[in-house]
Chain A
């Protein structure tokens, strides 16, 4: 899926420079991230680990262009995200980032293949081309035979595969996954981690995954640990 040229051009997929993010919750101020610097090379499969409230998801949201830092800079796939307004950031996400969530979050009114097609509505592709690409993505995740099933007719593992197909259908530079195995049984969790690994290896997808699952360590190239908003184990992955 990813082209070799692009892979060659972008040796460094992620560059996080001295980023801090502070939330206000009621009267409380939460320092979610404090002066975090991190870079991740293209084609790496990296796990973000740490206890609850350590800032993993906040960092993931910043990398995915869903949120903005209060200070510092986030550069992903060569794009300085702070320079983009909300709509431009949305457009950038649709082209460069694939997202996978813990609870799959498929649209219940759409079939599996229609869910996968959804991000392609934002492209100029014709209807037939959108359908072809969605079929390919479903084949990649091993669910070609369940294309016309509704999410509620699929198991948790199958739904997560559909969510992964939806994340890769636009051929993004970066795949971010927030606890992708958090709602799955052990067998399904292994399968999903294996699938992510496969995508990383076969298509050189850069993947950043937030996980509590210790099994995840076996599948990734590097683990970045956070605690109380601070990096624990180095700035490069």
Chain B
């Protein structure tokens, strides 16, 4: 018989009660870890997806409004601009309407230069330039539909009244920031649209700056260039562009954080109640221990150790579960489920968050166990014995 043995035996006195309390703590810590990961995960998504030398130029009224294609030529003249490309949202679906994914008409000549972070290999880029109906496709989308390089696939137009058949000439690896898109040659779309009034607009223009310090000047230049034009534009860095898309989520994240911490508070109350109940039930035993000569400190320590041990196990389970979830999402994020998961597929839980989760669990154990343990340790043995016998 040892002190540790006594603590462990007491923990398993009511196995179901211990199990449920531990699971409640584990669940709360799991939630807290997930919630604490959210802001950092979103930041990571922005960081991966965005470059700080790319500037997006789109219609000031919103992304759904077209810009004249002539604007592409105009922005090339701005000082500090090293590359210009553009996106025209084709809105094609594969086989059936639910299979919608981002597909854009672009200029194939400088895709590698504009988006080096997509890590499309040189051979694929070369074929992309040469094959009129060539397309480079994100690895996630490739796997989702079971496509392979050199396969021909047809997308049905939902914005344009044409269906286009593409030959897949290259893949955007899943480790990059945008492994779901399909890029194809704008000229192919222009040709297809000749019988339908032609294609004279563009959805968004991308500029690449030589260095980050040039970006502000370029954005001011874009604003000046198109002020009072037929279509006023908004220019922003790619990071700001994505951030503004997600800005509405910030309030939502704050609510999630609050709910997460409220759930921890609820668990503290549950655990404290369970602990107090346990101490009340063991009043006779505590009285006997004191009568045997056990002082207040070891009794306080023993009761607190039970509460802390339970919280630690709950914390390890919760944080471990969150790590496992993060790993599973990461794995799923590079699989066919990536589109279903969306940004969740980019979640990464840091060891720091796991540590914070375990620290919170221990705090829960301490707070929940302190008052009952203190009362137990201060038990008046004569009063307790008198009540008992």
In the complex, A188 has a CB within 8 A of chain B:
no
Are A179 and B293 touching (Cβ within 8 A)?
no
Known: A105-B284, A121-B1, A127-B2. A178 touches B293 (CB 8 A): no
* B 352-363 binary contact with A (CB < 8 Å = 1; else 0): 000000000000
Point out the residues of chain A lying under 8 angstroms from B158, CB to CB: none
**What 0/1 pattern do residues 52 to 63 of A give for CB contact below 8 A with B?**
000001000100
What's the Cα separation between A108 and B289 when bound, in Å?
A: 13
Contact of B1 among A90, A99, A130 (CB under 8 A): A130
CB of A67 within 8 A of CB of B382, answer yes
> Would you give the shortest CB distance from B295 to chain A, in whole angstroms?
5
Docked CA distance A90–B291 (Å): 7
Spot the interface stretch: A34-42, A111-119, A228-236.
Answer: A111-119
- Residues of B close to A110: CB separation below 8 A: 1, 6, 9
> A99 touching B291 by the CB < 8 A rule?
yes
Bound CA span A18–B312, Å: 53
Shortest distance between the CB of A213 and any CB in chain B (Å): 15
For A15-54 the 0/1 string (1 means CB < 8 A from B) is 0000000000000000000000000000000000000000
Contacts of B1 in A (CB 8 A): 110, 113-114, 117-118, 121, 127, 130-131
B290, CB-defined interface residue at 8 Å: yes
Say whether A2 faces chain B, with CB atoms less than 8 Å apart: no
| Contact yes or no, A93 B293, CB < 8 A | yes
A87 within 8 A of B: yes
- Whether B296 and A87, one on each chain, are in contact in the complex, defined by CB atoms closer than 8 angstroms, is yes
Contact string, B281-321, partner A, CB cutoff 8 A, digits 1/0? Answer: 00011011111111111000000000000000000000000
Distance, CA A90 to CA B292, complexed state (A): 8
Of residues 344 to 389 in B, which have CB atoms within 8 Å of A's CB atoms?
381-382, 385-386, 388-389
Determine the chain A residues whose CB is within 8 A of the CB of B289 once the complex forms. Answer: 118
- Would you give the 0/1 interface string for B254-275, flagging 1 where the beta carbon is closer than 8 Å to chain A? 0000000000000000000000
Checking B2, B5, B12, B291 against A64 with a beta-carbon cut-off of 8 angstroms, the contacting residue is: B291
* A219 interfacial contact with B, CB 8 Å: no
Q: B176 on the interface (CB 8 Å rule)?
A: no
CA distance A95 to B294 in the complex (A): 11
Interface string of A149-176 (1 = CB under 8 A from B): 0000000000000000010000000000
Across-interface contacts of B381 in A (CB, < 8 A)? 66
Minimum distance in angstroms from B32 CB to a CB of chain A: 32
B52: interface (CB < 8 Å): no
Asked if A71 is at the interface of the complex by the 8 Å CB criterion, the answer is: no
How many residues does chain A have at the interface if contact means C-beta atoms less than 8 Å apart?
A: 36
A92 to B292, CA, bound (A): 10
Question: CB distance B385 to A61 under 8 Å?
Answer: yes
The reply to whether the CB of A200 lies closer than 8 angstroms to some CB of chain B is no
Q: CB distance B294 to A90 under 8 Å?
A: yes
Contact B382–A122 (Cβ < 8 Å): no
Interchain CB contact (< 8 A) of A178 among B2, B5, B389: B389
CB–CB A107/B385 < 8 A: no
The answer to whether A107 and B285 have CB atoms under 8 Å apart is yes
A41 to B296 CA separation, bound complex (whole angstroms): 32
A135 to chain B, nearest CB (A): 12
Query: Are the C-beta atoms of A101 and B389 separated by less than 8 Å?
Result: yes
Q: Is the CB of A93 within 8 A of B292?
A: yes
CB of B200 within 8 Å of the partner chain: no
A109 within 8 A of B: yes
Residues of A within 8 A of B2 (CB): 121, 127
Q: Given the known A-B contacts A90-B294, A99-B291, A114-B1, are A109 and B10 also in contact in the complex, defined by CB atoms under 8 Å? A: yes
A209 CB → nearest B CB, Å: 14
C-alpha spacing A165/B341, complex, angstroms: 65
Contact B389 A99 (CB under 8 A): no
Distance to closest chain A CB from B8 (angstroms): 9
Chain A residues whose CB sits within 8 angstroms of the CB of B76 once the complex forms? none
Report whether A91 and B293 are in contact in the complex, using a CB–CB cutoff of 8 Å. yes
A102-B389, A178-B389 as given contacts; A119 in contact with B292, CB under 8 Å: yes
Judge whether B389 and A179 touch: CB under 8 Å: yes
Find chain A residues with CB under 8 A from B285 CB: 105, 107
- Chain A CB within 8 A of B252 CB: no
Q: Are the CB atoms of A99 and B292 closer together than 8 Å?
A: yes
Interface flag for B13 (CB, 8 Å): yes
Q: How far is B288's CA from A90's CA once the two chains are assembled, in angstroms?
A: 12
The verdict on A94 contacting chain B, using a C-beta distance below 8 Å, is yes
The yes or no answer to A103 lying at the interface (CB within 8 A) is yes
Query: Taking the nearest CB of chain B, how far is it from the CB of A211, in angstroms?
Result: 13
What CA separation (Å) do A179 and B33 show in the bound complex?
56
When chains A and B are docked, how far (Å) is the Cα of A92 from the Cα of B2? 21
* A67 to B3 Cα, complex, angstroms: 27
B260 CB, nearest partner CB in chain A, Å:
35
A-contacting residues of B (Cβ < 8 Å)?
Answer: 1-3, 5-6, 9-10, 12-13, 284-285, 287-297, 381-382, 385-386, 388-389
8 new A-B contacts at CB < 8 Å, known A67-B382, A93-B291, A101-B389: A57-B386, A92-B293, A93-B292, A94-B292, A95-B293, A117-B1, A131-B1, A179-B389
Shortest Cβ-Cβ A-B pairs, 10 listed = A94-B293, A109-B9, A117-B1, A93-B293, A114-B1, A105-B288, A67-B382, A90-B295, A119-B292, A87-B295
